[in-house]
């Protein structure tokens, strides 16, 4: 780092002093806190984004959002060149950067890191960072901090993409680094054209829901997703969408609305009620990277029948498995590309969903909790599908399989035009373009759900009947030191303290279809307890018993 760069960093960082007594940690969601505490952090993440761009010689993304958190919060996260999350190897640097106590400490830390990582400041492609933010009122001020951070690195360029969903920014970063057009217009264009392609490939006798199910009503969480869905809906044919809680009618972001609220509380969001009985409904979260479906149970109740991320995963897996079956059963295709399909879940996936997927003959893999682990594992397959119950997930296609699909459709189009094999290959290609392969995307996921339901000729009730969720219960146990709990096998087995797992096993054995695991929280000194059983009473009792065991072994 030369003297000019040293002075620029020292000068600019003096305007963004960190708040006293606040320690932040970069996790799956990046940094999140009350927005008033984040100006220094966002500025410093801007520096990190510029350095990451220099290191990778690629476009980097920087998103200001707190997703499903309350409106007074905000946050910031990085999108790596692939459009995925920040490399885990850089997370400790992010933590140190955010918590450096003074400008002098900050510049020293940066200088040491630049030397260690051999980051080129001269003779390299200038750093480029795409900036996005959601609709939170604190976003404008934090945007300035982000720009100041990026441009405190000499020749670095901050490109403001405006108000976006988080998945849109990730998509743009991935597209830019693949040499593709990557404006918001291009994003909408790719989604709408892929959707139309899939709609055109629906069998002729299954092209409509009929009656009351013609319309989809979407809860936009009073966030950015509702606004963008209204734009996207105008480009679609064959799908009627009504958006409520779009944020344009004075509703408060994530307050009594949104996918996180609906999935956890299992009640109707604000603006929904008895008038919606029998209607297909969906809910986005605040930055539109989560999606769940639901229907209102009855006119006299606020309860819902929830269709969560596990069932979205199951629907996608069924559809893709069917297209692969069509490809593999044709005589002239049997010795060609044998695509490996894999499904990835965490231990929090309902046991009934895991059993269902395995009964279908699918390869099911478990990873530790966190999107970064799910995404990494899914990338090992030709087609990897991952979802969390909260509605965050996507489908990844390997470059080699996409290349084979493209070559296959080109070959078939010159011969057996309109054959089932060609249609199956075209459907898979269209899915790879419709689904956001960078990150979970509620808008692209919603369109894929809708076209598959039409393809199957299924109502929401028919989809929800794939399997019956086992009753479950989650609890938190406050402990002095959560690191005393060490787990293995994708967090399903406790290896420390000794004897705790054996005690948990003894409790599980008392319940029909019992299952339970514990894991230390990643953010607070609590141990999280999850339990399932054949009845809600059994799940509650098992969770309580295991919580008492945690207290006894860590007391």
Catalytic residues: 67
> How far, in Å, are 53, 102, 208, 231, 278 from residue 18 at the CA level?
24, 8, 56, 39, 52
Structural element, H or E, at residue 60: strand 59-64
Cis peptide before 218 (omega within 30 of 0): no
The secondary structure of 228-282 as a DSSP string is HHHHHHTT-SS-EEEEE--SSSSPPTTSS-SHHHHHHH-BPPTT-SGGGBT-EEE
CB 332 within 8 A of CB 326: no
Environment class of 229 (CB within 10 Å of its CB; exposed 0-12, middle 13-18, buried 19+): buried
Q: Which of 456, 426, 442 is nearest to 196 (CA)?
A: 426
- Cα 69 vs. chain centroid, distance in angstroms? 15
Q: Which of 79, 117, 131, 50 is nearest to 375 (CA)?
A: 79
Cis peptide before 497 (omega within 30 of 0): yes
CB 174 within 8 A of CB 438: yes
Cα–Cα distance for residue pair 289/391, rounded to 1 Å: 8
DSSP-derived letter for residue 25 is -
End-to-end CA distance of the chain: 50
How many CA atoms lie within 13 Å of 371's alpha carbon, on the beta-carbon side? 24
How many CA atoms lie within 13 Å of 450's alpha carbon, on the beta-carbon side? 30
Cα–Cα distance for residue pair 368/370, rounded to 1 Å: 6
- What are the two backbone dihedrals, phi and then psi, of residue 79, each rounded to the nearest 5 degrees? -105, 120
Length of the chain as a residue count = 555
Helix (H/G/I), strand (E/B), else coil: 376: helix
Cα–Cα distance for residue pair 182/126, rounded to 1 Å: 19
Beta strands in 71-214 (DSSP E): 73-79, 128-133, 157-163
Tokens of 308: 């969560």
CB 10 within 8 A of CB 154: no
CB 439 within 8 A of CB 502: no
How many CA atoms lie within 13 Å of 303's alpha carbon, on the beta-carbon side? 5
- Residue position matching structure tokens 């790719």: 190
- Residue position matching structure tokens 């979970």: 440
Region of residue 57 (phi > 0: left; psi between -120 and 50: alpha; otherwise: beta): left
Alpha helices in 178-223 (DSSP H): 184-200
């Amino acid at each position: 780092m030369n003297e000019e760069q040293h002075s620029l960093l020292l000068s600019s960082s003096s305007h963004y002093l960190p708040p006293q007594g606040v320690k932040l940690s970069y996790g799956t969601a990046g940094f999140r806190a009350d927005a008033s505490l984040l100006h220094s952090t966002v500025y410093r993440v801007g520096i990190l984004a510029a350095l990451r761009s220099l290191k990778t010689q690629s476009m980097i993304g920087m998103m200001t959002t707190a997703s499903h958190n309350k409106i007074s919060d905000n946050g910031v996260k990085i999108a790596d060149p692939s459009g995925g999350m920040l490399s885990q190897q850089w997370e400790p640097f992010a933590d140190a950067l955010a918590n450096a106590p003074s400008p002098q400490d900050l510049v020293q830390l940066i200088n040491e890191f630049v030397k260690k990582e051999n980051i080129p400041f001269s003779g390299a492609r200038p750093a480029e960072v795409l900036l996005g933010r959601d609709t939170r009122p604190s976003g404008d001020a934090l945007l300035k901090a982000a720009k100041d951070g990026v441009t405190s690195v000499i020749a670095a360029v901050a490109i403001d993409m405006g108000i976006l969903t988080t998945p849109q920014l990730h998509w743009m970063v991935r597209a830019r680094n693949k040499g593709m057009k990557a404006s918001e217009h291009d994003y909408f264009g790719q989604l709408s054209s892929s959707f139309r392609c899939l709609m055109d490939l629906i069998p002729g006798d299954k092209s409509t829901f009929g009656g009351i199910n013609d319309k989809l009503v979407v809860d936009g969480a009073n966030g950015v997703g509702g606004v963008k869905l209204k734009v996207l809906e105008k480009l679609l044919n064959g799908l009627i969408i009504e958006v409520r809680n779009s944020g344009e009618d004075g509703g408060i972001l994530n307050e009594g609305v949104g996918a996180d609220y609906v999935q956890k509380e299992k009640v109707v969001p604000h603006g929904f009620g008895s008038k919606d009985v029998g209607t297909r409904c969906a809910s986005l979260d605040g930055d539109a990277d989560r999606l769940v479906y639901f229907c209102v149970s009855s006119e006299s109740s606020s309860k819902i029948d929830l269709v969560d991320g596990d069932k979205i995963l199951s629907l996608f897996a069924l559809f893709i498995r069917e297209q692969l079956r069509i490809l593999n059963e044709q005589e002239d295709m049997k010795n060609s590309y044998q695509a490996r399909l894999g499904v990835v879940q965490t231990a929090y996936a309902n046991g009934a969903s895991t059993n269902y997927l395995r009964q279908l003959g699918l390869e099911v893999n478990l990873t530790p909790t966190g999107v970064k682990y799910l995404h990494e594992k899914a990338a090992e397959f030709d087609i990897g599908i991952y979802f969390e119950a909260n509605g965050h997930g996507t489908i990844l296609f390997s470059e080699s399989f996409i290349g084979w699909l493209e070559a296959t459709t080109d070959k078939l189009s010159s011969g057996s035009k309109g054959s089932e094999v060609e249609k199956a290959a075209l459907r898979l290609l269209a899915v790879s373009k419709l689904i956001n392969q960078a990150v979970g995307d509620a808008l692209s996921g919603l369109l894929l759900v809708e076209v598959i339901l039409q393809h199957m000729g299924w109502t929401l009730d028919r989809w929800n009947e794939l399997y019956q969720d086992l009753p479950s219960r989650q609890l938190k146990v406050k402990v002095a030191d959560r690191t005393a709990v060490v787990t293995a096998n994708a967090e399903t087995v406790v290896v420390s303290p000794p004897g705790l797992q054996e005690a948990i096993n003894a409790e599980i054995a008392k319940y029909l279809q019992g299952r339970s695991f514990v894991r230390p929280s990643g953010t607070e000194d609590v141990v999280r307890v999850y339990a399932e059983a054949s009845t809600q009473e059994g799940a509650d009792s098992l969770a309580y018993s295991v919580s008492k065991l945690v207290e006894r072994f860590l007391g």
